[in-house]
Amino acid sequence: MKKNKKLFFLFITTLVVSTIFVFVVLTNQKHLPSATIGTIIEPLNGYLVTDIKQEKILLNRKFKNEKFIINIFSSWCVPCREEHKYLLKLKNNNIKVVGINYKDNKRNMSIFLKELGNPYYAIVNDKDGYQSIKLGAFGVPETFIIDENKKIVLKQIGPIDDSVYYKFLKVIAK
Amino acid sequence: MKYFLITIIFLFSFETFADDKINSKVIEISKNLRCLVCQGQSINDSDSDFALDVKKLVKKNLEEGKTDKEIYSYLKLKYGDWILYKTPFNLRTILLWLLPIIIILFGMKLIFRRTKFE
Amino acid sequence: MTNIIGNLLIFFSLSSSFASVYFYFKKKFSLFLKSYLLSCLLCFSSFLFLIYCFVISDFSISAVYQNSHSTKPLIYKIAGSWGNHEGSMLLFVCIIAIYGSLFFYSSKNIETNFRNLTIFFQNILKIIFLLYLFFLSNPFDYIFSNPTEGLGLNPILQDPLLLIHPPFLYFGYIGFSLVLSLVLSGLIKNFFDKEWASLSKNWVIVSWVFLTIGILLGSIWAYYELGWGGYWFWDPVENASLMPWILSVALIHSMLIMEKNNTFKSWTALLAIFTFSLSLFGTFLVRSGILNSVHTFANDPERGLFILGIIIFIIFFSLLIFILKTNFTDEKKNVVFLSKENFLMYNNLFLIFFLLVVIIGTLYPIVLATFSNENISVGPFYYNTILAPFVFIFLFLMGTGPMMKWYKNEFKSKVSLIVSAGLISLILVLVSSYIPKKINIIYVLGLFFSFYLISATIYEIALCNTLIKIKQNLGRNLSHLGFGLLIMSITLNSFFSKEYNFMINLNEKFTSDDIEILFEDFKITKQSNFDQFSTKFKISKDKETIILRPSIRKYNQPEQLTSEISIKNTLLKDFYLAINYSSIGERRLIGARYYENFFILGIWISSLIIIFGGVSRLVFRK
């Protein structure tokens, strides 16, 4: 009698424990969590490095009632080259892309943009990485969609590809 | 070859370190932060770009007179609990902290039941 | 061609293992043993053959292609054969076979039925892992494109310590497979008693010694190679090796009770079953890729699932036999308060507690992330906070327990002894608190309780007046003494050690507190498989000057940068300097970490004393 109870217990525990572990292994993706999604972005301050205007940019004041994109890039970052054509496409669709130039120098950046084209509405210089931290970024490239209320609604870690691009268009059209 | 190696090796500029106290504070805080892009290292142990940025930020904040608490909560706001190696005690971690205590009490009870006191 | 030979060797080894199972059921025991030994022999030769493939750099074999390179030094070509998942699994199976054959040759005098069944179970374990190896993780997989050059071995693994670290760890982990076989066969053949305990204890200690050496080597490697100034990081992979270690210590102590008075049998059986399961669990954690660890050099979730399946099967099957076969009536006997057995029970309780803390700390974040999408991090802060107070109590019990008598409470007669050991520790703590400017509670308690254990153990040693007594108790006394010294060194290390991070240019000086560090010189040299950027730093402190030469290596196959630290060891402290390499920049500054690490030598030596304790127990067994 007591043995049967133990056996029953053994079967149940084995079943439960193995289900949990299998579930953990199968659903385990090493996604980086994004705490900043849904939060309102902090004003970015850095120097605008494009030819638009030489002034401190406070993104809260610009972009009234429109969605826009923030893209962290650098001339020394190889995947940034891969995603560049998608940024140009976004620009051609009249979507404003703000670039955050991460740990780069101005000369290398202008060569990079001359070679591949300039998709950016404005570029913020992020010499020490603080602007990227404000967005909760881990490195380059990373791309964020900001909605009308200055909320981060989407975050892409790593380069943009076809599927990410269409996802972006969908979110912005909403 | 020589210059190639040097450019790879040499790091991004830091401002000169002034205060010993701030330096040891930076080390103390960055030991309690996880380097999110490197597998299971602390910010202090890592030399990745991300870790260097956070270290610089911590130092800057300390120089501006911010407290440890403010620094931790700012980074928590940006990266979530995941960045804190100093695991907080809250609803999500209640079992993590209490389970061991429950276990030891339960074990003591089991042993007491089997003990003869003369 | 080579891949066919390799596969054939594994295949024949499998077949003769199966033949051995067949003969066992047909009760042809001499054939059973012969075919078992043959399968072991084939298994060894397949591993030797793999090493041969690595030595001749046969890149048509995928394991060789992915982990070796023709320009690599010979010794690392050989080590490459177990520096990857496939090869390490073959080593794993070989060690199962080695333990099986060792048991075969050393057990001629024991009861035949029990002996045969133990070998039978050892054979079954071998089959399980050999099947996994053959179908899912075959080291002799062929590459059709026939590459002419290999990809090379991760340079961080190209280290003499790491050459021998995995084999030691494996000899530790897998020794517990034999213990499991002994338990199962003991239970089935009604041989699970005092005699079983004294026979099996030796195997547990052998595995424990190997495991301890393996962990120590890993820790030494981390200290000298990773360049973070530490020796233990509470990293999930390190925890994975600590889990079976803790449980095996509990097992050794529970076997002491079983050997003495034939009780605690079901408890011992359970500990043995879970010790081996936890050894496998470590492999699962590392391979399944569910961990965020600095040590995950290779992972593959699909294989992880299969290893998980194997672990669950082994645990389930063992527990099934355990439930069906245990019927110990004497288990319900009570234990006298403050008798030796009582202290051993508390030993087991604390060890299980330590184990569960490590398991909870490792798994809780993973499970939480799966079920709630919340990510938290558990690090040294958690382990130190939870474990420290209990380690202190544990040290007290560890010092007091051995003074007690079996079966009876003679605590009162030992009170004066305990008090005097306490007084000695108190005086020592007062003396050592006088040296630093300020002290904290952890420092005081850590030192007090480790001094207590050390002085109590020294008293125990002094009590042994005959040579036989000295020999009989040497194992315990050394291990306990070593543990006391270890906690003492760790406490002192964490309290006194200092760390400075700074950026420095050539000919610049970094000054802080009372030290002065000057970046004097650098040069670049070329070696066969790497370029080296060497630096020269002059460190001045209290009119003392030392030169340290840390460097950075750029390996060419595969291309990777590593930082080589420079250390000057002294008896009391290590001067430790590492430079770093990670990012590309404009200004010619170099990042440096300078550490003054205290009592590192003490940590290594006390670990060695613990190991000697295990070894001397094997040498001077009754």
- Give chain B's domains with CATH numbers: 2-88 (1.10.8.640)
The reported pLDDT for the residue numbered C301 is 73
Q: Is A54 a domain residue?
A: no
Same domain, residue pair C309 and C415: no
* Residue bearing the bigger pLDDT, B34 or A59: B34
From residue A34, give the alpha-carbon distance in Å to each of A31, A37, B50: 9, 6, 15
3-state helix, strand and coil shares in percent for chain B, rounded to the nearest 5: 60, 10, 30
Alpha-carbon dihedral sign for residues C374, C380, C383, C389 = negative
DSSP state of A129: S
Give me the tens of pLDDT residue by residue for chain A, a chain 174 residues long: 578 888 999 999 999 999 998 888 887 655 566 788 888 888 777 666 554 444 455 555 567 778 889 999 998 888 899 899 999 999 898 888 888 988 888 888 888 988 998 888 888 888 888 889 989 988 889 999 998 888 899 888 888 989 999 999 998 887
At C564, is the secondary structure helix, strand, or coil?
strand
Q: Looking at residue C223, what is its pLDDT?
A: 92
Residue C26 and residue C168 in one domain: no
C549-595, pLDDT tens digit by residue? 998 888 876 677 788 899 999 889 999 999 876 443 445 678 888 99
Minimum-distance CB partner of C288 among A3, A25, A105? A25
Helix (H) or strand (E) holding C546: strand C544-548
Most confident of A88-102, B37-51, B96-110, C436-450: B96-110
Query: Per the structure, how many domains does chain C have?
Result: 4
Q: Is the pLDDT of residue C481 over 90?
A: yes
Say whether A133 and B77 touch across the interface (CB within 8 A): no
- For B78, the closest of A103, A129, A136 (CB atoms) is A136
Task: Tell me: do A8 and A92 sit in the same domain.
Answer: no
Q: Are residues A15 and A100 in the same domain?
A: no
Residue numbers in B near C533 (CB within 8 A): 5-6, 9
Chain B, residues 18-77, CB within 8 A of chain A, namely 36-37, 49-50, 52-54, 56-57, 60, 75-77
Q: How many CB atoms lie within 10 A of CB C364?
A: 20
Q: With CA atoms as reference, report the closest residue to C414 among C338, C485, C521.
A: C338
Residue A47 belongs to some domain of the structure: no
* Residues A25, C240: Cα–Cα separation, whole Å: 17
Return mean pLDDT, chain C: 90
Residue A51 lies in a domain: no
Residue C353 counted as domain residue = no
- Examine the domain organization and report whether A9 and A81 are in the same domain: no
C425 shares its domain with C513: no
- Among C107, C140, C156, the domain-final residue is C156
State the chains in contact with B (3 or more Cβ–Cβ pairs under 8 Å): A, C
In a domain, A59, yes or no: no
Residue C2 has pLDDT above 80, yes or no: yes
Distance from CA of A47 to the nearest CA of C (A): 19
pLDDT score recorded for residue C299: 56
Residue C306 and residue C215 share a domain:
yes
pLDDT on residue C446: 95
Which pLDDT does position C478 carry in this prediction?
96
| B99 or A25: which leads in pLDDT | B99
Strand-strand pairing, C590-598 and C573-580: antiparallel
**Whether B49 and A35 lie within 8 Å, measured CB to CB:** no
Residues A79 and A23 placed together within one structural domain of the fold:
no
Q: What pLDDT band is residue C356 in, cutting at 50, 70 and 90?
A: very high
Instruction: Let me know whether C226 and C291 are in one domain.
Output: yes
- Average pLDDT score over residue span C349-353: 97
- Which tens digit of pLDDT belongs to each residue from C314-337? 999 999 999 998 876 656 778 899
A155 to chain B, closest Cα gap in Å: 13
- Lowest model confidence (mean pLDDT) among C155-159, C228-232, C440-444: C155-159
Is A45 in the B-facing interface, judged by CB distances under 8 Å?
Answer: no
Is the domain of A18 the same as that of A92? no
pLDDT (average), residues C149-159: 77
Residue C523 lies in a domain: yes
Q: Identify whether residues C476 and C525 lie together within a single domain.
A: no
- Are C502 and C492 within one domain? no
* Residue at a domain's end among C317, C333, C349: C333
Domain identity same for A89 and A159: yes
Instruction: Using the predicted structure, report yes or no on whether residue C475 has a pLDDT greater than 80.
Output: yes
What's the first-to-final CA gap in chain B, in angstroms?
Answer: 81
Q: Is there a domain that residue C210 lies in?
A: yes
**C56 and C142 co-located in one domain:** yes
Yes or no, beta carbons of C323 and A17 under 8 Å apart? no
C137 with C169, same domain?
no
Residue C357: the pLDDT is 96
Specify whether the CB–CB gap between C449 and C392 falls below 8 A.
Answer: yes
> Which region, left, alpha or beta, applies to residue C476 given φ > 0 means left and ψ of -120 to 50 means alpha?
alpha
Rounded to two decimals, the pTM is 0.91
What's the number of domains chain A is made of? Answer: 2
Instruction: Note down the domain range covering A1.
Output: 1-30
Residue with tokens 């066919």: C4
Q: Which residues contact C439 (CB under 8 A, 6 or more apart)?
A: C433, C495
Same domain, C220 and C139: no
Q: What percent of chain C has pLDDT over 70?
A: 95
Using the beta-carbon criterion (under 8 Å), do B79 and A39 form an inter-chain contact? no
At residue B5, the pLDDT reads 37
Q: With beta carbons under 8 A apart, name residues in chain C contacting A23.
A: 370
Stronger pLDDT, C437 or A167, i.e. the higher one: A167
Residue A12 lies in a domain: yes
A164 in the same domain as A85: yes
Same domain, A149 and A77: yes
Given pLDDT bands bounded at 50, 70 and 90, which one contains residue C92?
very high
Q: Which residue has the higher pLDDT, C91 or A23?
A: C91
Which chains touch A (3+ CB pairs under 8 A)?
B, C
Q: Which residues of C touch A136 (CB under 8 A)?
A: none
Please, how many CA atoms are within 13 Å of residue C341, restricted to the half-sphere of its CB? 22
Contact list, A30 vs chain C (CB under 8 Å): 289, 292
Task: Please tell me whether residues C455 and C564 are part of one structural domain.
Answer: no
Q: For residue C285, is it within any domain?
A: yes
Return the pLDDT at C292: 56
* CA–CA gap between residue C465 and residue B57 (Å, rounded): 64
Q: Do the domain assignments include residue A52?
A: no
Whether residue A95 is contained in a domain is answered as: yes
Q: Which residues of A touch B60 (CB under 8 A)?
A: 130
Cα–Cα distance measured from residue B52 to residue B45, given in angstroms and rounded to the nearest whole number = 10
Report pLDDT for C581: 60
C283, two tokens: 């492999």
What are the pLDDT digits (tens) for C66-84?
888 888 888 888 988 888 8
CA torsion A86-A88-A94-A97 (nearest 10°) is: 80
Whether C339 is in a domain gets the answer: no
Q: What angle do CA C607, C237, C289 make, to 5 degrees?
A: 170
- State the pLDDT confidence band at B3, using cuts at 50, 70 and 90: very low
Let me know if residue A35 belongs to a domain: no
**What one-letter code names the amino acid at C483?**
F
Asked if the Cβ–Cβ distance from B56 to A128 is below 8 Å, we say yes
pLDDT tier at B16 (50, 70, 90 boundaries)?
very low
Q: Is B89 on the interface with C (CB under 8 A)?
A: no
Same domain, A76 and A154: yes
Q: Which residues of C touch B80 (CB under 8 A)?
A: 374-375
In a domain, residue C68? The reply is yes
- What is the per-residue pLDDT for A1? 53
- Same domain as C92, residue C194: no
- CB-based contact (8 Å) between A38 and chain B? no
Inside any domain, residue C555: yes
Q: What's at C594, amino acid-wise?
A: Y
Q: C276 is in which domain, residue-wise? A: 159-333
C559 within domain boundaries: yes
Q: Which of A46-60, B54-68, C111-125 has the highest mean predicted lDDT (pLDDT)?
A: C111-125
For residue C258, is pLDDT > 70?
yes
Query: Of the ranges A48-62, A110-124, C19-33, C437-451, which is most confident?
Result: C19-33
Residue keyed to tokens 């099934």: C320
Same domain, A86 and A156: yes
